[in-house]
Every structure is written in structure tokens, then in C-alpha cells.
Amino acid sequence: MHEALKQLIENGWLEEAAASAADVHGLLGIVERRLDEAQGSLKYPDSIFILAYDAVLSAATIVLRAHGVRAKRGRHHEMTFEALHRLAIPGLSDRARYYDACRRKRNTLEYDSAGDVSNTEASELVVEAARFVAAAKEWMRVHDPELLRGTGK
């Protein structure tokens, strides 16, 4: 466990959980499908935004799993990005606050009202999601290649 995550574990927001290649493989499937759909031809920017957000969340979850933790169910999206921020991984953690702002917007889109995201916002998140996913995969290849074994990624 990374020292930067200790307080989140002690406070009950994260739990220690060893990851397996099968866990990572499943999450990568979600990442790739969501990103592929977000880059497709969808009618509403809300849908594009939510799919790109889901790709980022799942990729961030992979990074946390590689550190031997997972966010608990209550506020797990928020805690995933908080943990990512605390890890301070160059190229991965720098945009954690942006992802958290996207989380709040996604909550509005999912639970309160439609149409509250622009085409520009959705497009920006798709570009950022593609960048983040590529960076997370590369980080995994360098720092924890065992978890990528058998995934073909």
C-alpha cells in the first residue's frame, strides 16, 4: 500500500484489496468499450460525456488496484479521484481535480437534468479520456506488467 493512501484507508474510504490480472482484464474491457462508444457517433453530448467519464473512472480504478486498494461503495467515484490525486503520479494524477469536477457534472447529468453539458465539454473529456487511458496503460506496463499478463493490452 502506498503511504499517500494510508489516511483514506484509516478513514474507511478505501480498502486494501490485492488485484489480479483477471480484475485488470475486466476493467480494461470496460475502459475500452466506454472510450470506443464515446468516440462514436452519438446524438447527445451528455451520453458522450458520461461514457468518457466512465472510461476515466475505470482506468483510475486500475491504477488504484495496482496499488493494492479499491474505493468502497459509498462515494467511491469521489474517493477514486481523491486517491489518484494523492498518489501524485506524473501524467496520471495531475488531472485528478478535473476528473472530480467531471464527476460532479456527470452526477447532474445522470440524476438531475439532461442537456447540461456542451459539445465542447464532451469533446474535451473524450480527448482527455483517451490521453489518460493511454497513460494509465503505459504506467501499468512499466510499474506492474504482471497485472497486464494475459490481457493482450
Residue 138: name the closest of 125, 148, 128, 150 by CA. 148
Does 153 reside within a domain? no
Does the pLDDT at position 151 exceed 60?
Answer: no
Does 150 reside within a domain? no
pLDDT in tens, 101-134: 999 999 988 888 888 999 999 999 999 999 999 9
Does 149 reside within a domain? no
Tell me, yes or no, if the pTM score tops 0.85. Answer: yes
Does 66 reside within a domain? yes
pLDDT in tens, 58-100: 999 999 999 999 999 889 999 999 999 999 999 999 999 999 9
Does 41 reside within a domain? yes
pLDDT at 2: 84
Does 65 reside within a domain? yes
Does 36 reside within a domain? yes
Burial of 90 from C-beta contacts in 10 A (0-12 / 13-18 / 19+): exposed
Does 112 reside within a domain? yes
Q: Which residue has the higher pLDDT, 150 or 129?
A: 129
Structural domain total, the chain: 1
Q: Domain of 75? A: 3-12+20-144
CA atoms 66, 69, 74, 79: torsion sign: negative
pLDDT at 73: 81
